[in-house]
Structure 1
Amino acid sequence: MLGRTASGVFWMARYLERAENTARLIDAGFRMALTRDRVVSEEEWRSVVATVGLRAGYEAANGSYTGVQVWNYLLRDKSNTGSVLAMTEAARTNARAVRTALTREVWEAVNESWMVLKDTLSRPVREGSVIDVLGTIRKQATLVRGALDGTMLRNDNYNFCRLGTFVERADNTARILDIKYFVLLPSLAWVGSSLDNVQWESVLRAVSGERAYRWLNAGAMDPRGITEFLILDERFPRSLAFCMDKLDSNLTGLARQYGNESSANELVAGIKRDLSAMTIERIFEGGLHQYIAAFLSRNRQVAQAIEHDYRFRA
């Protein structure tokens, strides 16, 4: 398989996952902002922009953090290469370049997503329509994912798609947890309060984990339990442990096909070992922020190793 083909399907999947994650984060921010006064609401929106790593670009284009400014910047602003619209277009560009590596159903799903979102986001998104727009983004992502899972051979093309998805998903879940503790919560005095509980619920909403967590924990909102769920629970498809397990299985599939393991295999295996030996008590003792910062760094190393080992730029 050519390196540029592997790169195309890998980055197609990353852009699609990142676009969906951005929509989920906006949804969580919107729901939190509805229950807050104006000043605190702006802090919520600042946290959303910080989570996706676009604070510098946003502040260069906008003077305040109102909801309508934030979600339009993140959804459709032409100056923002990290907007949902720009990322969907980038996914389509990559998919078109590697059409022979995709099934017809996958290409059509990606192309349709681009056309639907281009039309949906051709106008500024108002407060009354933002929830419907975010629902459309999630629906299109689900259609592409269904086409991938339902029609792709489990070969190297599929494995590179999955690698892109789970590298991106792990990064997103870790960032949401980190921002919760360092931006969202205004003061340690709020820990354990109703405000704190609402924010943790919003974290779960952002990763579509609220129902699963409540089902496992009889509805109790416990910060340590939620953190453990999002980091260590291999049953939840957006947890760090789940993402690493899938990266491991897809890298193993590539190693079996190509006859040798890569440095990415070793990196992911090391992260999996550490996660399986970790407890939530040890994470909090060492500092949640420090743990997540280290994980994000290791996850980036995995992505870079995949690109290097399989010669994406060759």
Structure 2
Amino acid sequence: MLGRTASSLFWMSRYNERTQNVTRLLDVAYRGAIMSHSGQEDGAHWTFALANAGCESGYQEKYDELHIRHMIAYMIFSKENPTSVRSCLELARNNARAVRTGITAELWEAINTTWIEFVEVSPQSVTQDKLPDFLAWVNQRGHLFRGALLNTILRDDGYFFSQMGNFVERADNTARILDTQYWSLLPDNTIIEDGVAERYQWSAILRALSSRRSYRFAYPNSRLNAFNIAEFLILRSEMPRSLAHCCDWIADTAEDLAQFYGSREPSLDMAADLTRELTEKQMHEIYRQGLHEFLTDFIGRNNQFAHQLSLDYNFA
């Protein structure tokens, strides 16, 4: 496979995953703001979304205040914001179009139709009361893309690069959300659903990672607490957005890629090493190392893997 083809498939999936990540952050912020005990929009909720999307400085350069109208404009429709929903959808489609003959009709239709329908939406029409439904629509279209990819793509190198892109992005998103809120997950934070601030932070983290209900299934006899949430989102491989789950997928896909090409590149060993180290970790060890330090190291190594992958397979 040509390097530019592998690159397009990798980034097509990354941008689709990033689109869903941004919509979940906005949904969490919106629901937190309207449920604020003060009855007013609380800037902390919108700051949560901006910080986790890496858009805080860009937003502050453009706007002087935190307001839902500005958030919709910047985080959804802005052409200037590289992490906006519009930017991610457009980049995902551009990468898919570059490999149009190498993907299935179902996958192309899923991503192309989403873009066509999105650009027909007027930003002024997405008012505060319509925002949740619009975010849900974008998120559902992302699921349609993933469904088409998983159910129609041949299990060859194109599929492997697509999967790499998806799980590299997902791991990065989970680690960054945990890192920006790491102070609320420290082991000395033993308050169990007694404080409003703690309860909101923990719920926001879980909701931003689509894991609130699955957490209840995993810990049926336990209320929310910092240790369990950190363990669930880092080490529990059955959780689809945990670091362990993402690393398992990346490592397994790396093995498939090595077998497919009959050679083993340095990036594939990097994936195996990271997964093995994560598998051998216990949550108490991570706390002793330092949660922030662990997450910072993980983000760096995940990025290094993606960079090495691009070098090994000549991404254009």
Tell me how far 1:121 sits from its aligned partner.
5.3
State whether structure 2 residue 264 is matched by structure 1 residue 261: yes
* Counterpart for residue 56 of structure 1: 57
- Cα offset for 1:57? 1.3
Corresponding residue number in structure 2 for 1:211:
213
CA distance change for structure 1 residues 124 and 40 in 2, over 3 Å: closer, same or farther?
closer
Give the deviation of 1:113 after TM superposition: 1.2
**1:289 offset after TM fit, Å?**
1.2
Measure, in 2, the Cα distance between the counterparts of 1:70 and 1:149: 33
Give TM-score scaled by structure 2 length. 0.93
**What are the Cα deviations for residues 212-263 of structure 1, in whole angstroms up to 9, with x where unaligned?**
1101211621111011000001101110000001011111111111111111
Q: Conserved in 1, the CA contact under 8 Å of 2:190 and 2:226?
A: no
**Corresponding position of 1:143:** 144
Where 2:140 maps in the other structure, the secondary structure is helix
Please give the alpha-carbon distance, in whole angstroms, between the structure 2 residues aligned to 1:191 and 1:231.
20
Q: CA deviation at 1:122?
A: 4.2
Of 290-299 and 195-204, more deviation after overlay is shown by 195-204
Aligned mates of 2:233, 2:182 — CA distance in 1 = 14
| Amino acid across the alignment from 2:211 | G
1:234 aligns with 2:255: no
**Aligned residues between the structures:** 310
Q: Measured at CA, do residues 173 and 136 of structure 1 come closer, stay the same or move farther in structure 2, by a change above 3 Å?
A: same
Distance verdict in 2 for CA 1:300–1:38, change over 3 Å: farther
Deviates more, 1:47-56 or 1:157-166: 47-56
Cα distance between partner residues in 2 of 1:254 and 1:244: 15
Query: 1:78 and 1:217, CA in 2 relative to 1: closer, same or farther beyond 3 A?
Result: same
CA RMSD of aligned residues (A): 2.0
Partner SS, residue 120 of structure 1: coil
Contact 2:77–2:85 under 8 Å retained in 1: yes
Task: State the shift of 1:119 in Å.
Answer: 2.3
Show the 5 A alignment for 1:286-305.
Answer: 286-305=289-308
Q: Distance in 2 between matches of 1:226 and 1:124?
A: 37
Q: Are 1:274 and 2:266 an aligned pair? A: no
Q: Secondary structure at the match of 2:139?
A: helix
Matched, 1:17 2:20: no
- After TM superposition, the structure 1 = structure 2 runs for residues 104-183 of structure 1, keeping only pairs within 5 Å, are 104-120=105-121, 122-123=123-124, 125-181=126-182
**Mapped contact 1:190–1:196 kept (Cα < 8 A):** no
Superposed displacement of residue 66, structure 1:
2.0
Is 227-236 or 40-49 further displaced after alignment? 40-49
Uncovered stretches (5+) of structure 2, i.e. residues with no partner: none
* Kept in 2: contact 1:72–1:124 (CA 8 A): no
Q: 1:35 to 1:272 in 2, by over 3 A?
A: same
Task: Report % sequence identity.
Answer: 38
Distance 2:284 2:77 in 1: 41
2:189 and 2:226 in contact (8 A); partners too: no
Q: Which deviates the most, 77-86 or 152-161?
A: 77-86
Between stretches 24-33 and 154-163, larger displacement belongs to 24-33
* Distance 1:122-1:33 versus aligned 2 partners, 3 A rule: closer
Amino acid aligned to 1:205:
R
| Distance change (3 Å), C-alpha of 1:128 and 1:278 | same
Detail structure 1 runs of 4+ shifted over 3 Å in the superposition.
37-40, 120-124, 188-192
Q: State the Cα distance separating 1:50 from its structure 2 match.
A: 1.5
Does 2:85 correspond to 1:84? yes
